[in-house]
Amino acid sequence: MDVIAGEVFYVDKPLHWTSFNVVDRIRKKITKKLKIKNIKVGHAGTLDPLATGVMIICTGKATKSIDLYQNQTKEYIATLKLGATTPSFDLELPIDKIYPTHHITLEMIENVLHNFLGEIDQIPPIYSAVKVDGERAYKYARKGEKVELKPKKLVINKLEVLEFNLPLLKIRIECSKGTYIRALARDIGKTLGSGAHLVALQRTRIGEVRLEDCWQLNDLLQYLDDELLNSVPFTK
């Protein structure tokens, strides 16, 4: 293994960790073990703290491949709670509005999901890292300031109902880079004549990299601790 020449690690991001935290923990492990001041470590696609699942971590010269991974199709399993919204469109903030759900049927949901397939315009959540006039949108949101976010074009390849038991709806999503699943939850709720927010999210695939290919973070850190100085090929 040569982390400076470049290695690629597949990690199952733990709940409540930021993507930055995962990268920083791996970087610190490497620099401490190799007794170097710094090394390039990056990831190919942010996951919110309340999400889990596939993260691709690149080190050294392999960070040049990040764009390649970022542009690949992603798959998620998302659980939506219908009939209620939050300002962040997930569990980060408390419920702010309640909506009726008695009219929602499985057939209605399947028809609504079909309308989101293909190329769509999506307005990102205001609680996001999207930049507005050089400032992150979430900073405006936390100060209670309203900003206008421009819609972004993206592609939804697949939307599949996995479970439906009011008020919860679990779906599988295959989509392009830049898709905000929280925003998709918001839009699905609106189109159903109700509201919705995200209560669970797991990224199950990036390109051909699946969840079962991933290290648990603690196992990877232990592997790095045990094997980093040995010139053995990295395998997983």
CATH of the domain at 153: 3.30.2350.10
Catalytic residue among 2, 12, 24, 48: 48
In a domain, 61, yes or no: yes
130 with 13, same domain: the answer is no
Q: DSSP code of 33? A: H
Interatomic CA distance for residues 115 and 55, integer angstroms: 29
User: Would residue 47 be called left, alpha or beta, if left means φ above 0 and alpha means ψ between -120 and 50 degrees?
Assistant: beta
Residues 196 and 186 sit within 8 Å (Cβ to Cβ):
yes
Residues 196 and 81 sit within 8 Å (Cβ to Cβ):
yes
* Straight-line distance from the first to the last Cα atom of the chain, in angstroms, rounded to the nearest whole number: 12
17 with 64, same domain: the answer is yes
Structure tokens at 236: 């997983």
Catalytic residue at 24? no
Query: Based on the structure, what is the number of domains in the chain?
Result: 2
190 with 79, same domain: the answer is yes
- Beta-carbon contacts of 108 under 8 Å, excluding residues fewer than 6 positions away, are 192
46 with 156, same domain: the answer is no
109 with 177, same domain: the answer is yes
- pLDDT higher than threshold 50 for residue 233: no
Give the pLDDT band of residue 234 (cuts 50, 70, 90).
very low
- pLDDT higher than threshold 50 for residue 231: no
- pLDDT higher than threshold 90 for residue 175: yes
In a domain, 28, yes or no: yes
Give the pLDDT band of residue 230 (cuts 50, 70, 90).
low
Query: Strand locations in 4-73, DSSP E?
Result: 8-13, 41-43, 51-59
In a domain, 178, yes or no: yes
Question: Which pLDDT score is estimated for 184?
Answer: 97
In a domain, 49, yes or no: yes
For residue 89, what are the domain limits?
74-206
37 with 97, same domain: the answer is no
96 with 80, same domain: the answer is yes
In a domain, 189, yes or no: yes
16 with 48, same domain: the answer is yes
Average pLDDT over residues 125-148: 80
Percentage of residues of the chain with pLDDT beyond 90: 77
In a domain, 86, yes or no: yes
Give the pLDDT band of residue 126 (cuts 50, 70, 90).
confident
Question: Which pLDDT score is estimated for 199?
Answer: 98
Of 45, 48, 54, 73, give the one whose Cα is nearest residue 199: 48
202 with 214, same domain: the answer is no
